[in-house]
Amino acid sequence: MSTDVVLVPSTLALLPEYAGARDPIPDLRSACQDAVAWLVSRHASSVRVVAAPLRAEEVARGVTSPAGERIARHLLVAAGFDGRVDDAGDGVLVVANGTAKRTERAPGHLDDRARRFDAVIEEALRSGDAAALRGLDAEPAEELWARDWAALRVLGELLPGCPMELDYSDDPYGVQYWVGRATCGS
């Protein structure tokens, strides 16, 4: 049994309720759509979604649904998926990105550690270094606003030695986004 895994970022700009007249992330959106379409084509009946849970401050503001879950559902529906979202599927959609402190204009401003932190994650994705992902240190991740670290750790569980093909890797707004797909097992 093989597992197919797709990784997309958790930027709110992917959600239709935040759409302006002009798309600020056309290339990223296109890559997400292609990757999720690939996943849906192989797992039409059931997909597992892995996303960071609500943070305490979001709960305090009255948010009831994690952004990553909403993004996943939107991308799945847009790809024509009408199956179940549950934990049983061997098609997995992970919603996570890297740091948000890569440039002076980044949401979290510039932190010199951000690029190195993201580079470690990207190398782990490309090489299938599951241990590196599972061992992500939460403290610097939080400091660098890589708030999806928990989802990246789960991704490590899903990629035992499976390299991820990255369709997209860029930081157009100072936040590191990846779109990737991987197939693990036989």
Partner 1 sequence: MTLKLGRHEFGDDATLMMAIVNRTPDSFYDKGSTWAEDKAFERVAQVVDEGAEIVDIGGIKAAPGEEIDADEERRRVVGFVTRVRAAYPGLVISVDTWRAEVADAVCAEGADVLNDAWGGADPRLVDVAAKHGAAVVCTHTGGVEPRTRPFRTEYADVVASAIADTTAYAERAVAAGVDRRSVVIDPAHDFGKNTLHSLEVTRRLGEMTATGWPVLVSLSNKDFVGETLDLPVGERLTGTLAATAVCALAGARIYRVHEVVETRQVVDMVRSIAGRRPPARMIRGLA
**Interacting residues with partner 1 (CB under 8 A):** 11-13, 18-25, 100, 106-107, 173-175
* Among 128, 143, 158, CA closest to 50: 158
Pick the closer one to partner 1 by CB: 1 or 16. 16
Q: Is 54 helix (H, G, I), strand (E, B) or coil?
A: coil
Q: What's the CA gap between 47 and 54, in Å, rounded?
A: 21
CB of 12 to partner 1, least distance (A): 4
Pick the closer one to partner 1 by CB: 25 or 39. 25
CB of 176 to partner 1, least distance (A): 11
Pick the closer one to partner 1 by CB: 19 or 138. 19
CB of 49 to partner 1, least distance (A): 20
166 Cβ contact partners less than 8 Å away, ≥ 6 residues apart: 122, 125, 126, 178, 179, 180
Q: Taking a C-beta distance cutoff of 8 angstroms, is the pair 75, 7 a contact?
A: no
CB of 42 to partner 1, least distance (A): 30
**CA-based torsion, 181, 87, 67, 103: positive or negative:** negative
Q: Taking a C-beta distance cutoff of 8 angstroms, is the pair 100, 146 a contact?
A: yes
Q: Taking a C-beta distance cutoff of 8 angstroms, is the pair 90, 158 a contact?
A: no
Pick the closer one to partner 1 by CB: 129 or 171. 171
Q: What's the CA gap between 5 and 95, in Å, rounded?
A: 11
CB of 15 to partner 1, least distance (A): 8
Pick the closer one to partner 1 by CB: 13 or 150. 13
